[in-house]
Amino acid sequence: MNQWLDISQRLNENTPYWPGDTQYSYRLNSSMAEGSSVNVGEIRMSTHLGTHIDAPYHFDENGKKIIELDLDLYIGTGTATVVKVDAAESIGIKAFEGIELTGVRRLLVATGQWKDLSRFPVEPDLAPFLANKGVRLLGLDLPSVDCLDSKELPAHNKLSGCGIHILEGLVLDGLEPGLYDLAALPLALEAGDGSPVRAVVKKKG
């Protein structure tokens, strides 16, 4: 039987964070070692740390917040397709030549380029191409769909305008291309512009 595979980044003090964002920290406010009856922890972190989803409100003042998103986008049986693309300066339509995407609802793209944040911004014209294929959720093993120093966030805005939601910071190393069950649910953050997720997949069949 296929097992659930964790494709999330571990959250700890070494988790990479976006310049200017709040990095991860954890402490015990109540400690059994210090005489308390329980251990109670407190965490501080950006909503875009590690494996996370972007709500449209992240880059659109009038966009939907986390609590307003359709949860069906982030969980499904046999409807997440994992593909690998060759190294390039960016991800555009050409990167998917020879890959059948018709009817794909949730697309997870393995680039292997996490360590080089200057590479693999998503080209804005990819958004309508994917939307026409049926894609509603785009997940990548990258910290963002736009360049590190981007101010206009063209890929974020174009994807959102085409009805495609964004899942970033996945760990797809060693994952075979193919169909998977997916669960990557956000927290119920009422005012959230983003949310960390525990993303897991299971090979279909």
Please confirm, yes or no, whether 165 is among the known catalytic residues: no
| Contacts for 183-188: CB closer than 8 Å, 24+ residues apart | 183/74, 183/75, 184/51, 184/53, 184/74, 184/75, 184/139, 185/71, 185/74, 185/75, 186/53, 186/66, 186/69, 186/74, 187/66, 188/66, 188/67
Query: From the CB of residue 157, how many other CB atoms can be counted at a distance below 10 Å?
Result: 17
103 DSSP 8-state letter? T
Residue carrying the six token digits 């009805």? 163
Query: From the CB of residue 38, how many other CB atoms can be counted at a distance below 10 Å?
Result: 8
The single residue of 48, 52, 58, 165 carrying the catalytic annotation is 58
Q: Write the single-letter amino acid at 134.
A: G
Residues noted as catalytic: 58
